[in-house]
Amino acid sequence: QKEVEQNSGPLSVPEGAIASLNCTYSDRGSQSFFWYRQYSGKSPELIMSIYSNGDKEDGRFTAQLNKASQYVSLLIRDSQPSDSATYLCAVILTNNDMRFGAGTRLTVKP
């Protein structure tokens, strides 16, 4: 089992819709979780962090964490074409190493 798993996509949503990106992790002791956005040809950019069960909202972005299910998600409301990118889930393992998922490619169609 991979340490961090994401659906590779591509995920395509119409402009204005909600995009839902999912991630599961294998290390039950993990406590810190992150979402990065990576535009084509660019380096990853940190957009969200979450440490506690529940929801964390930042503008149009909501991160959701369920440690019992070892599941973290990112919702993007009112999706815009500028949100088209690859979204990487990252988890800090109990040995303090950070591991990245393979990423989900999101396309928002005008």
Partner 1 sequence: SAVISQKPSRDICQRGTSLTIQCQVDSQVTMMFWYRQQPGQSLTLIATANQGSEATYESGFVIDKFPISRPNLTFSTLTVSNMSPEDSSIYLCSVEVAIGQGPGGYTFGSGTRLTVV
Long-range contacts (CB closer than 8 Å, 24 or more residues apart) made by 40-49: 40/85, 40/86, 44/88, 48/74
Q: Between 92 and 108, whose beta carbon lies closer to partner 1?
A: 92
Exactly one of 12, 31, 53, 94 binds partner 1 (CB under 8 A); that residue is 31
Exactly one of 62, 76, 103, 108 binds partner 1 (CB under 8 A); that residue is 103
Residue 61 to residue 77: CA distance in whole angstroms: 7
39 contacts partner 1 (rule: CB under 8 A): no
100 contacts partner 1 (rule: CB under 8 A): yes
R_g of the chain, CA atoms, integer Å: 13
Peptide bond into 44 cis (omega under 30): no
Chain residues that interact with partner 1, rule: CB under 8 A: 31-32, 34, 36, 42-46, 49, 51, 88, 90, 92, 97-98, 100-103
